[in-house]
Amino acid sequence: MRDGSATEEKILKLAKKMIIKNGIANLDMKVLAEKIGCSRSTLYRHFSSKGDIMIKLVEESLEIITRSSTALPKDASFKNGFEEFSWYVDQRAKALIHEVDSVTFIRDFDCLYTNAYPQSKEVESFKNFIKTDSKSDPWLTSFKRGMEDGSIRHFDDPSLQVLTISNGLLGLAERVIPRVSFYIKEQGYSEEFITNQAALYLESIRSK
């Protein structure tokens, strides 16, 4: 983060609260500056546009969810690749259910920027962030291990399968998690959709 990281963290934290409450489109930089207790010129020294704030917040939200489902416990031990991959998927489902604010922000960001990202100097950094290094991605590594040891079915493009599962869970979470009470009232289920979808994905890749 740039100079003045403490101030920037304060800006991001308050901006996220305002967005969760009022929506991305209604974030007013003047009001944000007033709530922070600084001038708009000071605010713009840290973030040159509202787009900068949006990009930084969505990166932060994705990182929170990703970090919670990629760091294996030190004492973790798995019999095969499928068992390890299942741990990652289960942890991702739990993270999506728990991180309501992050999921809500990602949903609103996706809805607002349907055609292109905002013009921002943060965009290139964000694009690099979301491009997963296939050689170091623990999800893909465990998936390939499973294909090698026979616990996961063979797929010509394992990367596609992993991305489908990851994005599929996030997409479902974006729809359900911000509206849990609605789904419980109307359909009788909410978080169960996420855990059940995770189980279905895992069953579909398991070797028979």
Residue 3 reports pLDDT greater than 60? no
Please state, in angstroms and rounded to a whole number, the distance separating the CA atoms of residues 73 and 77: 9
Residue 1 reports pLDDT greater than 50? no
| Cβ-count burial 15-29 (b if 16+ within 10 Å, e if not) | bbebbbeeebeebee
pLDDT tens string 147-184: 999 999 999 999 999 999 999 999 999 999 999 999 99
Residue 26 reports pLDDT greater than 50? yes
- The helix/strand/coil state of 208 is coil
Nearest to 176 by CA among 167, 161, 189, 163: 189
Q: What is the pLDDT of residue 133?
A: 53
Contact status, residue 57 vs residue 182, Cβ threshold 8 Å: no
Nearest to 195 by CA among 49, 66, 90: 90
Q: Residue 4 — pLDDT band, cuts 50, 70, 90?
A: low
Asked if the 1-47 domain carries CATH number 3.30.70, the reply is no
Q: What is the pLDDT of residue 198?
A: 97
- The helix/strand/coil state of 152 is strand
Lowest mean pLDDT, pick from 49-58, 186-195, 197-206:
49-58
How confident is the model over 64-80, as a mean pLDDT? 86
Residue 84 reports pLDDT greater than 90? yes
Domain locations in the chain as residue ranges: 1-47, 55-205
Residue 89 reports pLDDT greater than 90? yes
Q: What is the dihedral of CA 94, 54, 118, 112, to 10 degrees?
A: 60
Q: What is the pLDDT of residue 2?
A: 46
CATH tag for 55-205 (out of 1.10.10, 1.10.287, 1.20.1260, 1.10.357): 1.10.357
pLDDT tens string 115-153: 877 666 677 777 777 775 555 588 999 999 999 999 999
**Residue 94: DSSP 8-state:** H
pTM of the complete model: 0.85
pLDDT tens string 31-67: 999 888 888 888 888 888 888 888 888 888 988 898 8
| Distance in angstroms between the alpha carbons of the first and the last residue of the chain | 48
Q: What is the pLDDT of residue 204?
A: 97
Q: What is the pLDDT of residue 120?
A: 67
